[in-house]
Amino acid sequence: MTHRYTNSLINETSPYLLQHAHNPVNWYAWNDDVIKLAKSQNKLIIISVGYSACHWCHVMEDESFENEEVSEIMNTNFINIKVDREERPDIDQVYMNAVQLMTGQGGWPLNVIALPDGRPVWGGTYFRKEQWINALEQIATLFKRDPKKLFEYASKLEEGIKSLDIVSLNTDEAIFETSFISRSITSWSTQFDYTKGGMNKAPKFMMPNNFHFLLRYAYQMNDKQLQNYVNTTLTKIAYGGVFDQIGGGFSRYSVDDKWHVPHFEKMLYDNGQLVSLYSDAYLATKNPLYKNVVKETLDFINRELKGDYGNFYSALDADSKNHRGKLEEGAYYVWQKDTLKTLLKEDYMLFSDYYNINSYGYWEHNNYVLIRKDDDASIIKKHKITQNILNNKKSNWKALLIEHREKRIKPRLDDKSLTSWNAIMLKGYIDAYRVFKNEIYLNTAIENANFIIENQIRDDSGLNHNFKNGKSNINGYLEDYANTISAFLALYENTLDEKWLLLSRDLANYTLDHFLDDSSNMFYFTSNEDTSLVSRSIEYRDNVIPASNSVMAKNLFLLSHHFNNNHFFNIARAQLNNIKSEIIAYTSGYSNWLDLMLNFTQPFYEIVIIGNDAKEKLSELNTIYHPNHLIAGSFRESDLPLLKGRFAKHNTRIYVCVNNSCLLPTNDINDVVNKI
């Protein structure tokens, strides 16, 4: 297509906004000046929110935003604002809440019409061209003839938006019990798919945090049925098309109930969390499938989403150009029989059985999405081969098909780097290092942590949210602070470098100063230095990414132990108490909170390792799955509360402490394991 237009988005750095920079729609990016312009011209505002890897965002652009008839209506009657939801999650959250109130559902693209002051009056998600034109014309006419109706509706809707995320301080005594967690899981389990894994519906989202919590609970409480369910889920996901069987890495979700056909975009935050999950699952089970998933996913991240600054990029698009040069979802990833037969030759029969080039793996239009059904042992027995032969063949197949796939036009890359998502991926790398002892994983984690320090932490000790083309911008959100603190804490526990612990504490103090609602002990999503929107929301329900408040509460719990800080502890406990009443009714939205609750209801250990051989002892300790502890340690004398006075030359000591009481020190890891 030859573009004849340029709008103000041409000056932006967001790949999503730049995709719309040549639309005939006169788009603006969100800023205070644009809102002032709408007010001065007394024009309604169209706020259209999406992200670069969003398939239906591209469809609506193609049908409506590149259409001259539509753009004429939009440019004449509205001020048009395009928003990258990943750059500006604060704006997305406000208008998503509005659309969910108005329609009962949400999603992307998100399209809202607002008054000149930004208050929403109408909205929805994807609209066909005719629907969009009809809605625009009706609302534009109403605004000219009877604007009072829109203002009255906006006021009512504004009240509803502001009431959505209000969290009141729970003044009842904070009582947390394991039986409460068990009842929550029992209620939740009615939605489990025990055969195919995940929830018993389609589409299926991986929801890594849900299964990370369930993994911990199942093994910590020795719940065999739940262990089987979690491992069934992780196996089926690893076998499915949602996991790229050739190139590694995960897509966002499956459109069917067997994890077969994904929505093909690959998001950094999914892959970071799933690396952490599969690493811990390997530690708990020693299942080699999980180890392979981690390796291939990190190979994919290193190959496709790693930047020049030690940063990680955000996403790969679901769509790519097919052999006719037309954008098509999944075109880069799918296979046809003739191509596979030509490439694999005499191996085709074994390959087609292993990856189901049959009715089980068929998608549409003669395309197959590779999916496994049987484990290696079944394939080996059926085809009378050895495990080594199968492993060699799989390696050869993947190398061959990757080489062929590289000749295709790749999906578009969203090359912005978001602090919160980088921190999630950083934690994935450090978790993989903890379990698999691969120094490359540690070096990558440290490199990314240094990227955050050097580029995203400002002189005032605050964080920026976005990084693109060597420049950092957008004041950070709670998700940036919460996930960075979490990653730095993990980095400290695996390197024993106090720098990361002290940075975590400093970032937590900054967050308390700029985000805390003193009346509830919850944290706002935006800083008190940010320009006000329609509402200042509090994000506390866990979703595909855990809520920034639940992550922050877990951080404060850990920091309270590291620094003997009752203030941190009391805030974390108050936060958990605030949302306790909502958990059983919607457990899947509070799994990270339940993970924190386990720390209160079961023994939580402080393991202190100090001495010349601390790193070796730590590595030995990390061969065993025990999620109910934190680690503090040093190779030398330290003034940190958990370490002070415990260093002894020529003798590495390990202390196990719980409830402010420590057992006699030991240097035998087996003693430690027996104690916890």
User: Under CATH, what is the fold of the domain 178-320+414-601?
Assistant: Glycosyltransferase (1.50.10)
Q: Are 480 and 419 in contact (CB under 8 A)?
A: yes
Calpha distance 90→375 (Å, rounded)? 44
User: Tell me, what's the pLDDT at 647?
Assistant: 87
Task: Tell me the pLDDT tens digit for each residue of 190-238.
Answer: 999 999 999 999 999 999 999 999 999 999 999 999 999 999 999 999 9
Q: Are 634 and 496 in contact (CB under 8 A)?
A: yes
Calpha distance 15→131 (Å, rounded)? 27
User: Tell me, what's the pLDDT at 163?
Assistant: 81
Calpha distance 231→553 (Å, rounded)? 28
Task: Tell me the pLDDT tens digit for each residue of 580-591.
Answer: 999 998 999 999
The CATH classification of domain 8-164, taken from the options 3.40.50.720, 3.55.40.10, 2.40.50.140, 3.40.30.10:
3.40.30.10
Q: What is the DSSP letter of 358?
A: S
In this model, does residue 61 exceed pLDDT 60? Answer: yes
Q: Are 328 and 320 in contact (CB under 8 A)?
A: yes
Q: Which residue, 313, 364, 311, 369, is CA-closest to 340?
A: 369
SS percent in the chain: helix, strand, coil, step 5: 50, 15, 35
In this model, does residue 66 exceed pLDDT 60? Answer: yes
Sheet harboring 204-205: ordered strands across?
Answer: 204-205, 253-254, 262-263
Per-residue confidence at 2, pLDDT binned at 50, 70, 90? very low
Task: Tell me the pLDDT tens digit for each residue of 107-135.
Answer: 999 999 999 999 999 999 999 999 999 99
The continuous run of DSSP H or E covering 516 comes out as strand 516-517
In this model, does residue 563 exceed pLDDT 70? Answer: yes
Task: Tell me the pLDDT tens digit for each residue of 595-639.
Answer: 999 999 999 999 999 999 999 999 999 999 999 999 999 999 999
Q: Are 372 and 356 in contact (CB under 8 A)?
A: yes
Average pLDDT of 71-99?
Answer: 95
User: Tell me, what's the pLDDT at 45?
Assistant: 97
Q: Which residues pair with 319 in a beta bridge?
A: 329
Question: Can you give the pTM of this predicted structure?
Answer: 0.95
In 176-191, which positions are buried (b, 16+ CB within 10 angstroms) versus exposed (e)? beeebbeebbeebeee
Burial class (CB in 10 A: 0-12, 13-18, 19+), 39: middle
- Dihedral angle at the C-alpha atoms of 190, 191, 196, 202, nearest 10 degrees? 160
Per-residue confidence at 3, pLDDT binned at 50, 70, 90? low
In this model, does residue 4 exceed pLDDT 70? Answer: no
User: Tell me, what's the pLDDT at 1?
Assistant: 42
Calpha distance 527→377 (Å, rounded)? 54
Task: Tell me the pLDDT tens digit for each residue of 277-311.
Answer: 999 999 999 999 999 999 999 999 999 999 999 99
Q: Are 414 and 12 in contact (CB under 8 A)?
A: no
Burial class (CB in 10 A: 0-12, 13-18, 19+), 377: exposed
Q: Are 417 and 314 in contact (CB under 8 A)?
A: yes
User: Tell me, what's the pLDDT at 33?
Assistant: 93
User: Tell me, what's the pLDDT at 64?
Assistant: 97
Those residues with Cβ within 8 angstroms of residue 136's Cβ, 6 or more apart along the chain or in another chain: 46, 70, 73, 74, 77, 78, 113
Backbone angles phi, psi at 495, to 5 degrees: -120, -20
Calpha distance 660→3 (Å, rounded)? 67
Calpha distance 479→625 (Å, rounded)? 27
Percent of the chain with pLDDT over 70: 99
Task: Tell me the pLDDT tens digit for each residue of 9-48.
Answer: 999 999 999 999 999 999 999 999 999 999 999 999 999 9
Compute the half-sphere exposure of residue 499: CA atoms within 13 Å on the CB side of its CA. 6
User: Tell me, what's the pLDDT at 372?
Assistant: 98
Task: Tell me the pLDDT tens digit for each residue of 653-676.
Answer: 999 999 878 888 888 888 888 888
The continuous run of DSSP H or E covering 658 comes out as strand 653-658
Q: Are 537 and 93 in contact (CB under 8 A)?
A: yes
As given in the structure block, the two tokens for residue 318 are 């679901």
